[in-house]
Amino acid sequence: MEAATAVVAEIVSGIAPFDGLEREHIEETLAWLASTDDVFRRVKPATPRRHLVCYAVLVDPEARAVLLGRHRLAGLWLPTGGHVDPGEHPLEAARREATEEIGIRADFTVTGTDPLFLTITTTVGMDSGHEDVSLWYLIRGTRSHPYTLDPREFSTEHWWDIDRFAIPESDPHFGRFLGKLESALG
């Protein structure tokens, strides 16, 4: 196992599963990482067919809200994030995505620098059909601050209350993520 893949495996091993599905996704991801070093997207949109991505979820823990953007390619309300570059540490990818898509320096003081959640999702929209193994990192934001998401990626943005999230057009695991986030916030 190459060093970059081993780092990802160590990160994944450290995620405490929220439910049975996340446990399955963690186990499947660890088996995938053990079977190949070809885990980073090399060619857009989907080479290899399964690759590593990260979300950089902007959270206001005091207001108990998350910022989502209407993603142009997926057609869904999604957190900011993107593909982990070959050899890049996933935390650095989350930092980079926060800078590129929100224009901020990532503050990981919500729950720390480890990802809170892991999912495996078959993509939809214009680049549909491949699998994203997603590490969900939390970054601190303030609901009252006027963030503008990268207009090349997102058509608009909106703050959503964690306890009243009921939008069907999002990542299929977003409701489970919010359950784990609520638990983490206490």
**Mean pLDDT across the chain, nearest whole number?**
93
Q: Where are the domains of the chain?
A: 3-185
Query: Does residue 129 surpass a pLDDT of 90?
Result: no
The pLDDT value recorded for residue 46 is 75
Predicted confidence band at 74 (pLDDT cuts at 50, 70, 90)? Answer: confident
User: With contact defined as beta carbons under 8 Å apart, do 104 and 94 qualify?
Assistant: no
Size of the chain, expressed as the number of residues it contains: 186
Whole-structure pTM value? 0.95
Structure confidence at residue 125 (pLDDT): 64
Total Cβ atoms within 10 A of residue 155: 11
The phi and psi torsions of 26 (rounded to 5 degrees) equal -65, -45
Structure tokens, 17: 């599963």
pLDDT, tens digit, for every residue of 17-47? 999 999 999 999 999 999 999 999 888 877 8
CA 178-99-80 angle, 5° bins? 30
Residue 126 pLDDT greater than 70, yes or no: no
Q: What is the mean pLDDT of residues 44-62?
A: 91
Express each pLDDT in 75-109 by its tens digit: 999 999 999 999 999 999 999 999 999 999 999 99
Q: Which residue has the higher pLDDT, 93 or 48?
A: 93
Question: Can you give the pLDDT at residue 164?
Answer: 74
CATH of domain 3-185: 3.90.79.10
Q: 162-180: per-residue pLDDT in tens?
A: 987 666 689 999 999 999 9
Amino acid in the structure at residue 19: D
